[in-house]
Amino acid sequence: MFFKKYMKVVPLFIFVVIVLAGAAILFNIYIGTGTGKSNKNESKIDLNVEGNKSKDATSETIIGNSLKYDLARPVNENKPITLKFWINEDWSDIYTSLINEYTSIHPNVIFDVSQFPWNVYWNKINVALESGEGPDLFHMHNEFVIPMLQYLEPLPYDEFPMEQLKADFMQVETSMIGEKMYYVNVGIMTGGIFYNKKMWAESGLTMQDIPQIWEELRTVARKLTVYDSGGHILRAGFSFNGVEEYILEAMNLQRGQFLFSEDGRFSRFNNPASIENARFLRDLYYKDLVGDAKMEPAKDAFGFGKTAMIYAWGWTANDLDRNYPSIEYGFFRIPTWWPGEPPAFDRNNAECSFSVNKHSDENKKKIAFDFLKYYLSSDNALINAAKKAYMVPSKISLLGRPELSENVVITEQAKYIDRTCFPGILPNEFTNCLKTSIGQNLMEPSITPEEVLRRTDIAINKILPAYRFETMERKYKYAGEFKK
């Protein structure tokens, strides 16, 4: 009777509107959160699924591109479990953030984290793994992977299909050893020039003076150098102390010189182009007088305000921020010998994900790989890692993301990272040998450049065959532009 009486007074369409509005209000009261707002970023995903089965995968619970991660899939049946995780303390902030992200989704997973300085970490992790007391997962760097290979669990193909990784990430093949992968490259970095903005401006320089070629850098360095009344350097215009071998490698690659023979058994530092490069570097210090070989390592001299420009890799920014926060610096691409693009501006290397202990409990290995899959699928985690480590994210979809646009070290590297060459997984023994042979002797006036490079090749050639080094230079995208 109510509806018949009501219909006589209220037109039909108004009645329909009222009914629908009432239904909507009731529906909202039924499912509402009490806030009247919905925010995906603030929402929590309920993992307590009946029967410990994952929810149906939806766009709201799946993250990633080709490689995907289901946020709603329970881990370890939602039962508590603890993983031991060892890290290099330089990556403490990165891993702390990553762990917080992951455990907010999987609160049943607990990470027992131990961190160590870089210079003691690698010895400690090796001793622990050899004794069988090693952690379940641990930070990795590619120069140590071969000696530690016997302790590493390869990535399971069913969780990390190669075609998906290659679709999402750059230089995936560079982290392969044989047909297997034991980590994934999460970022790539290379060398460039840091400069003190205040000193730059005080010397009357502008952005128009950014040197594109080495001769221009020589001119700018002269303007930035300050001397006392006796002609001694008070402030260097340019320094590469402590990274002599790195800048020489870059200069050689710019001239189209491979660093290694095709079979990876021999070093190729001792050649006319490399000798010419070494002489140029000496001339900067001993003829142009823009640098001092007796000064502190470049990054420290830069932090102390003793040099206006340095050659360094992207990670140096992290060191400067932590140890010399008052320094306002800029960063630009490494100069080249001639205008235009060289065969390669420099070499590059990757920062790796963590690796998993082959001898850990099978269930813990499974969870460690789930953690890795989340890491590789989470844009937020990878962007945070890139920002903290000052590296170009290796995930292709993240290039050009606005979150990275204010970081000049990352954005500048990104402009030329495609024109940098990965020479192969360089063993730690090679790195140490190069630092001794070139790092300690290149700027020593009593030894000729020819002799320095001759000795360098002899020393390195004793290392490479035993290490079974595999050069990847000729797989570089622009390897065809190198001298044969």
pLDDT digit string, tens, across residues 231-273: 999 999 999 999 999 999 999 999 999 999 999 999 999 999 9
Residues of the chain with pLDDT > 70, as a percent, come to 88
Considering the domain boundaries, does residue 12 fall inside one?
Answer: no
Q: What is the pLDDT of residue 43?
A: 28
Q: What is the pLDDT of residue 20?
A: 38
**pLDDT per residue as tens digits for the range 358-385:** 999 999 999 999 999 999 999 999 999 9
Q: What is the pLDDT of residue 59?
A: 64
For tokens 């128009």, the residue is 208
Question: How much is the average pLDDT of 293-312?
Answer: 98
Q: Based on the domain organization, do 315 and 304 belong to the same domain? A: yes
232 CB contacts (<8 Å, ≥6 apart)?
none
Which token pair is 25? 């209000």
Q: Based on the domain organization, do 343 and 440 belong to the same domain? A: yes
**pLDDT per residue as tens digits for the range 328-340:** 999 999 999 999 9
Number of independent structural domains in the chain:
2
**pLDDT per residue as tens digits for the range 50-106:** 222 233 345 689 999 999 999 999 999 999 999 999 999 999 999 999 999 999 999
Q: Based on the domain organization, do 281 and 208 belong to the same domain? A: yes
Q: Based on the domain organization, do 201 and 143 belong to the same domain? A: no
Considering the domain boundaries, does residue 208 fall inside one?
Answer: yes
Residue 48 has pLDDT above 70, yes or no: no
Q: Based on the domain organization, do 124 and 219 belong to the same domain? A: no
Residue 14 has pLDDT above 60, yes or no: no
Using CA atoms, how far residue 413 sits from 189, 243, 253, in Å, is 7, 18, 17
Q: Based on the domain organization, do 173 and 132 belong to the same domain? A: yes
Residue 19 has pLDDT above 60, yes or no: no
Question: How much is the average pLDDT of 285-303?
Answer: 97
Q: Based on the domain organization, do 121 and 144 belong to the same domain? A: yes
Residues of the chain with pLDDT > 90, as a percent, come to 82
Considering the domain boundaries, does residue 444 fall inside one?
Answer: yes
Considering the domain boundaries, does residue 55 fall inside one?
Answer: no
CATH of the domain at 461: 3.40.190.10
Q: Based on the domain organization, do 420 and 272 belong to the same domain? A: yes
Q: Based on the domain organization, do 132 and 233 belong to the same domain? A: no
Residue 453 has pLDDT above 90, yes or no: yes
Enclosing domain of residue 116: 75-188+350-408
Considering the domain boundaries, does residue 447 fall inside one?
Answer: yes
Q: Based on the domain organization, do 184 and 194 belong to the same domain? A: no
37 CB contacts (<8 Å, ≥6 apart)?
none
Question: How much is the average pLDDT of 11-35?
Answer: 35
pLDDT band at 466 (very low <50, low <70, confident <90, very high): confident
Q: Based on the domain organization, do 356 and 235 belong to the same domain? A: no
Considering 393, 408, 423, which residue would you say is the last residue of a domain? 408
